[in-house]
A and B are shown apart, each in its own frame.
Chain A
Amino acid sequence: MLSPRRSSRPDMDTEWASAIEIATAVKEGRVSALSVTEAALARIMERDPVLNAFTDVVAERARKRAAEVDADKQKGPLAGVPFAVKNLFDVAGLPTRAGSKINRELAPSAHDSPLIERLEAAGAVLVGALNMGEYAYDFTGENVHDGNAHNPHDTSRMTGGSSSGSGGAVAGGLVPLSLGSDTNGSIRVPSSFCGLFGLKPTYGRLSRARSFPFVSSFDHLGPLARSTQDLALAYDAMQGLDAEDPVCVDRPAELTTPALQRGTQGLRIAVAGGYFKKGMFPEACVAMDRVAAALGANRDIEIPEAQRARAAAYVITTSEGASLHLDRLRTRAMDFDPATRDRLIAGAMVPAALVNRAQKFRRWYRGEVLKLFENIDAILAPATPCTAPAIGQQIFVVDGVELLVRPNIGIYTQPISFIGLPVVAVPVPLSPMPIAVQVIAAPWREDIALRIAYALEQAGVCAAPRPKF
């Protein structure tokens, strides 16, 4: 996968350093981008055989890019920061496999995705592509083609998916920053199971060009990191119109980093009630209580028809996903993961009349939820019902009822991405396993969700726990 070379190690411990600490050290000349990159490559070699977060390591490219950063007199805000991307992002020279067997036969990509280009323009260094659930239709992090991703906090447990390697690589200290995609929860679920900060921006905010799609109606891309500052820094570097993605809005970049420290005073924060208070395991309740108490959020608010929103998201997802893969289902059905294949075949058989009803409901629901934001600034909700289940676990018991694990991991994330609201998943470092809470804001108000996340981090309520190796 990668050849061991050059033993130069940085003077600073970059294993758990934040992106901002690395960039500051590189800019001040205390460490070179090349030595930071070498250290990241060495950690990947050492730990990835266990974590299985990476599917591709682009060592020579990373060394070349790091040397360029070192030679550059004008260093960017992410100077020398190693990062990796879910393998549905185009990486020049690699086929965009999207977690599948079939796609690895594609021609190598000619260009990087625009988000990679923007991070590298800010000084970051791409070191590889990351494991994911097949075609992003997954909440577990299990993959029959590339092997399952393993949770750094307990390698017998799931990372969550579908951005499984994006969670495992950052939580395992391999890189401080990764990119993932989130259609129904695929950034927020791994953030919860791996104990990370994850940002799913407003639908249309970040370009999805040159990434392999899943459900165009709900697809979002965004960063995962071990601190709010790193999330904001990466997010700010990636904002801006991209005409290559017709969904990407023509909206000026609204930088969030300068406002992070403004605190939460004056913000009206409520807790999602009703649907979002059912089905939680005790650990999810503890996490919600801690976050709500720290923010003084003592008011419940009902997100109307959230259960129906989840059902509508499910219907649109299975149908649009099947439409995307219809030709492959006809000709290459045996090359899919059987679980993905059977869901997609069923999705292909859903009549358009039912899907259109779900899209009508979606607009109605959006209108109702936006009314809530006339009187509040943010809503808190659990990210997942529980901490990471065991890899391969099929059933969990909620309120005495046995439920299938896979389809129920995303019950709290689906009604939010369904209408494209920005969310920061904030990790509560419970022992033995972390779990996250969603901080949900009105469209285009990523700044508010990030400010709240930063305040929780400063208060010591939220943090990315360091795994024991």
Chain B
Amino acid sequence: MADKNSDHLDAYIDSAAAALGIPVDPAWKPTIRANLDVTFRFAAFVAEKELPDDAEPAPVFKA
């Protein structure tokens, strides 16, 4: 599972880096992967909280 997840994130990092135009040295990838893994886990935890579709995000622009 860990390896599968790791492969999944490695592929994501390669694609995202190319799309964003960020040069990523292969030596940096383990730390980037570890950070991204934590962020995705935290984001999933946040998204578990059910909120209505019309819930407004915190920043609200006023014209």
Whether the pair A333, B22 counts as a contact (CB closer than 8 A) is yes
Number of chain B residues whose Cβ lies closer than 8 Å to a Cβ of chain A: 31
Give the interface SS of chain A, mostly helix, strand, loop or mixed. Answer: helix
Q: Given A361-B51, A364-B51, are A315 and B46 also a contact pair (CB < 8 Å)?
A: yes
Distance of B54 from chain A, by nearest CB (Å): 10
**Is B63's beta carbon under 8 Å from chain A?**
no
A342 to B28 Cα, complex, angstroms: 7
Q: Given A308-B46, A318-B35, A342-B35, are A363 and B20 also a contact pair (CB < 8 Å)?
A: no
Whether the pair B35, A343 counts as a contact (CB closer than 8 A) is yes
* 19 A-B pairs in the complex with CB atoms less than 8 angstroms apart: A308-B46, A308-B48, A311-B43, A311-B45, A314-B38, A326-B20, A326-B22, A338-B28, A342-B28, A347-B35, A355-B43, A357-B47, A358-B46, A359-B59, A360-B51, A361-B49, A362-B57, A363-B56, A364-B55
Whether the pair A346, B32 counts as a contact (CB closer than 8 A) is yes
Taking CB atoms, residues of chain B closer than 8 Å to A362 are 57-58
Q: Given A363-B56, A364-B49, are A357 and B36 also a contact pair (CB < 8 Å)?
A: no
For window 135-169 of A, CB contacts with B under 8 Å fall at none
Taking CB atoms, residues of chain A closer than 8 Å to B59 are 217, 359
A215 to B5 Cα, complex, angstroms: 29
Whether the pair A357, B43 counts as a contact (CB closer than 8 A) is yes
Whether the pair A354, B57 counts as a contact (CB closer than 8 A) is no
Which B residues have a C-beta under 8 Å from some C-beta of A? 12-13, 16-17, 20-24, 28, 31-33, 35-36, 38-40, 42-43, 45-49, 51, 55-59
Taking CB atoms, residues of chain B closer than 8 Å to A347 are 35, 39
Q: Whose C-beta in chain A lies nearest to the C-beta of B36?
A: A346
A407 to B39 Cα, complex, angstroms: 12
A354 to B12 Cα, complex, angstroms: 16
**Is A205's beta carbon under 8 Å from chain B?**
no
Distance of B12 from chain A, by nearest CB (Å): 7
Taking CB atoms, residues of chain B closer than 8 Å to A315 are 39, 42-43, 46
Distance of A247 from chain B, by nearest CB (Å): 10
Taking CB atoms, residues of chain A closer than 8 Å to B33 are 346
Query: Beyond the given A345-B28, A363-B56, could you list 15 further A-B residue pairs with CB under 8 A, ordered by the A residue number?
Result: A312-B42, A315-B42, A326-B22, A329-B22, A333-B23, A341-B28, A342-B31, A345-B22, A345-B24, A346-B35, A348-B16, A358-B43, A359-B59, A360-B51, A363-B55
Whether the pair B28, A330 counts as a contact (CB closer than 8 A) is no
Taking CB atoms, residues of chain A closer than 8 Å to B42 are 311-312, 314-315
A431 to B33 Cα, complex, angstroms: 40
Contact bitstring A360-371, B, C-beta under 8 A = 1, else 0: 111110100000
Distance of B63 from chain A, by nearest CB (Å): 13
Distance of A254 from chain B, by nearest CB (Å): 23
Q: Whose C-beta in chain B lies nearest to the C-beta of A333?
A: B23
Taking CB atoms, residues of chain B closer than 8 Å to A361 are 46, 49, 51
A346 to B42 Cα, complex, angstroms: 13
Taking CB atoms, residues of chain B closer than 8 Å to A308 are 45-46, 48-49
Taking CB atoms, residues of chain B closer than 8 Å to A350 are 36, 39-40, 43
Which of A305, A341, A345, A354 has the most B CB atoms < 10 Å from its CB? Answer: A345
Distance of B47 from chain A, by nearest CB (Å): 5
**Is A356's beta carbon under 8 Å from chain B?**
yes
Whether the pair B58, A348 counts as a contact (CB closer than 8 A) is no
Whether the pair B22, A330 counts as a contact (CB closer than 8 A) is yes
**Is A397's beta carbon under 8 Å from chain B?**
no
A187 to B57 Cα, complex, angstroms: 26
A320 to B20 Cα, complex, angstroms: 15
Q: Given A315-B42, A315-B46, are A360 and B24 also a contact pair (CB < 8 Å)?
A: no
A361 to B56 Cα, complex, angstroms: 9
A326 to B17 Cα, complex, angstroms: 11
Whether the pair B58, A366 counts as a contact (CB closer than 8 A) is yes
A348 to B32 Cα, complex, angstroms: 10
